[in-house]
Amino acid sequence: MSRSLLKALVSSLAVAMAGLIIAAPASAAGDPVRGKALGYTCLGCHGIDTYKNVYPTYSVPKLRGQHAEYLVAALKEYRDSERGHATMHAHASTLSDQDMQDVAAYLSGTEVKTAGGAPAGKVPAAVATCQACHGRDGVGIMGMYPSLSGQHADYLEHSLNDYRKGARKNAIMAPFATQLKPEEVQEVAEYFSRQKPALQTVPRNEKALTAAK
Ligand code: HEC
Ligand code: HEC
């Protein structure tokens, strides 16, 4: 598919999907207090900013500030093996749907919101297609579109390459990832990792949570 055709499709797709979301019944919000107890083991990796996956080596994704809705979707994809990662499959398989909601509410904390500022640094041409869903500054415009702002660049690059290879299966992202030229993959990953407000690593010694949101 040509890039211009893709661009034309993007906005209509984004709008159509927004309609689907509004039509779906609102899911109950997770309980971050319960989620904190469940999420304790997750911090062994997601609570350390420099933690790396090995073979292949890339940074463990930042989860604080990410949309809770997307975190739940990601956990289901690992559980159902639409997304391959042995450790994450094992963790997700132990969680019920309610557990996922709760752990996602805790890990995401306060979701990043777009500040509407000017983009940081040179904007690669390839980024134009991404903004309909991931926002100008990398803050996903809806809960199902992950925020990319401030995420580790090597993780973003790894994810894009997984979509390109079909190792990560997603009907929406596959065409956008495959239309990137190899040199653009790194460029867009670095661009989004520079943007603010940035996703964060979950702090390991966070104060006790008191109220459910
Ligand atoms: C041994 C380290 C490790 C542990 C423990 C761990 N994770 Fe992960 N997690 C990873 C890695 C590595 C990835 C990226 C895998 C990939 O490339 O898909 C990941 C990805 C994720 C993602 C997807 C993020 C995104 O941006 O798509 C979520 C959500 C997640 N983990 C939640 C959890 C939860 C919840 C727990 C605890 C129940 C947990 N993880 C425990 C290493 C870990
Ligand atoms: C029509 C909406 C849409 C467009 C346009 C789009 N994306 Fe996505 N993107 C998504 C959705 C939905 C997901 C989550 C898919 C999944 O669950 O694997 C996603 C996931 C991602 C991820 C993985 C994030 C993570 O935390 O693992 C990256 C990286 C990404 N997109 C980058 C891009 C780039 C770069 C472009 C432009 C070339 C782009 N996207 C265009 C909807 C879109």
Quick check: 71 and 108 in contact, CB under 8 A? Answer: yes
- Which one of the ligands is nearest to 127 CA? 2
Task: Assess whether the previous peptide bond of 61 is cis (omega < 30° from 0).
Answer: no
pLDDT at 22: 47
DSSP for residue 59: E
**From 83, 91, 112, mutation site for ligand 1 pocket: most ligand atoms within 8 A of C-beta:** 91
Q: What is the token pair recorded at 144?
A: 């199902």
* Mean of the per-residue pLDDT values of the chain: 89
What's the CA-to-centroid distance between 176 and ligand 1, angstroms? 23
- Mean pLDDT calculated for residue range 140-155: 98
Whole-angstrom distance, CA of residue 3 vs CA of residue 166: 20
pLDDT at 83: 94
pTM (2 d.p.):
0.91
Q: In the chain, what percentage of residues exceed pLDDT 70?
A: 84
Q: In the chain, what percentage of residues exceed pLDDT 90?
A: 78
Whole-angstrom distance, CA of residue 150 vs CA of residue 190: 9
Whole-angstrom distance, CA of residue 29 vs CA of residue 88: 23
Pocket of ligand 2 (CB under 6 A): 10, 13-14, 61, 73, 77, 126, 129-130, 132-134, 144-146, 148, 156, 159-160, 168, 170, 172-173, 176, 180, 188
**More confidently predicted of 13 and 100:** 100
The confidence band for 14, taking pLDDT boundaries of 50, 70 and 90, is: low
pLDDT at 25: 42
pLDDT digits (tens, 9 = 90+) for 92-114: 999 999 999 999 999 999 999 99
pLDDT at 117: 84
The confidence band for 206, taking pLDDT boundaries of 50, 70 and 90, is: confident
Q: Give me the half-sphere count of Cα atoms (radius 13 Å) on the Cβ side of residue 212.
A: 12
Task: Flag the least confident range among 45-49, 78-82, 188-192, 208-212.
Answer: 208-212
Closest Cα partner for 104 from 143, 58, 69, 146? 69
> Which residues, at least 6 apart from 138, have a Cβ–Cβ distance to it below 8 Å?
147, 148, 149, 150, 151, 192, 195
- Domains in the chain and their CATH numbers? 31-194 (1.10.760.10)
What's the CA-to-centroid distance between 150 and ligand 1, angstroms? 17
pLDDT at 24: 42
The confidence band for 60, taking pLDDT boundaries of 50, 70 and 90, is: very high
> Which residues, at least 6 apart from 70, have a Cβ–Cβ distance to it below 8 Å?
140, 143, 144, 145, 146, 147
